[in-house]
Structures are given as C-alpha cells and as structure tokens.
Amino acid sequence: MYNYRYYCKNLHKYIHIVDVCFFTVSQEQIKNLYQRFQQLSGNHEKISRDDLERIPALNNNPIRKQIITAFFDKRNQHQNDVGSLDEIGFEQFLMVMSHFRPVNSTATEEEKAIVRKQKLRFLFNMHDTDNDGIITLDEYRTVVEELLSQSGAIETEVARSIADAAMLEVASTNVPHMAPDDFYEGITFEHFEQILKGIEMESRMSIRFLDMNTATMRCGKLSS
C-alpha cells in the first residue's frame, strides 16, 4: 500500500528528524504515519490542503482551519522560516507531528522544558496568523469565535467580550503597572508562556502513534 522501497531509503532520515526534537519513536510508529500519509495523499509524494480538508472526521472540529493551516506553516518546521507552504512532503508532515510526541520519562528537566516550549510554540503559531510574533486582539477574537461557534447559540458579541476579557487578563498578569497611556500591543510568546505556566502539557498535548485502526483508514477519504 505504500512505496516500501522509498520508505526504507529514507527511514533513517525520518528517524533523525524526529530524534532531533528529543523524541524517540519506534520504526513501527513511523511506518504507521507513513501509511497514513500515503493514504491521505493518494499515494503521491506530497499532501496539499485539499487532501487534508477532505477528511470527513475533521468536519465537526471547530478549529479545523487552524489545524490544517498549522501543517502548512513554515514556522512549525523547526527552521526559522516564515510563510506557508502549498504542499508538504512526509518529512514536513513528520516534523509537525513531532510536536505531539509524549516526552520520554527518562528525559532531563531541560529536555522537558524544551519540549514544553515547542508545544506552546505550536499553539502560539496557531493563533498568530500574520507571523508578527504577537497575538493581537483580532487574532485572539478569531480563535475564540471559532472555538465557540460549535455551541450554536453563542453570538459573536459574547465571544468577542470573552476574548477581550482574556486579553485583559493576560495584560494584567504580565504588565501589571501599565501607565495611563500605554497600549497593550498583544500577547508575546513570553506572556503566552506565563499565562499557561500552570498547565501541564505532557498529558494534554501528546498522542501515542499506535497501530492504525484499519476501519478508520478506509474512512479517511471521501468516497466521492
């Protein structure tokens, strides 16, 4: 079902990619991901946005646009590029997925901090759509509106006031002594880290790439 030879040739490269980020992953898991990649891309070498948008299970997710965009975001590739790609290959796919690996229990405190930072960075990039390094009020509003859009009865006004409240919270936690004429630009990455300081990311943002369920694999593409 997948191009085994191509896969084997590049396996060491793939493992290297994921290992770079202090994650360890077994060959089994990389193979699973590769199978999924092949299925999503229709056995091509690259995935485009349309491929991901065709996944039916994602339809009900309120932030599906952001998730899909995250895959094509250059900032998630651990290089210092900005902008977005049109299509991604398996290596880039793997890079993005590596954000969600659980931390090895043998990792040191430093490594854990790095991992946590990477996960937070991923979330930050999801908000910061214009790549300017800060989350402005509008960007935050967009996210909150999308999150709440699923509940149906929420009007935009309520969503916006919630976003505003959240921004104020960040502002007051991080910049407690604002002068009367100060203008709070937006949430920088440091502020972002600060407000999410107490949450543990290890359990909330990790997936174990276990064996794929063949039923869902078949359902991964629309029949049309």
At closest approach, how far in Å is the CB of 25 from other proteins?
Answer: 13
Query: Judged by CB, which is closer to other proteins: 15, or 166?
Result: 166
Query: Judged by CB, which is closer to other proteins: 5, or 190?
Result: 190
What tokens does 219 get? 């359902």
At closest approach, how far in Å is the CB of 196 from other proteins?
Answer: 6
Query: Judged by CB, which is closer to other proteins: 20, or 207?
Result: 207
At closest approach, how far in Å is the CB of 45 from other proteins?
Answer: 18
Query: Judged by CB, which is closer to other proteins: 25, or 163?
Result: 163
At closest approach, how far in Å is the CB of 89 from other proteins?
Answer: 16
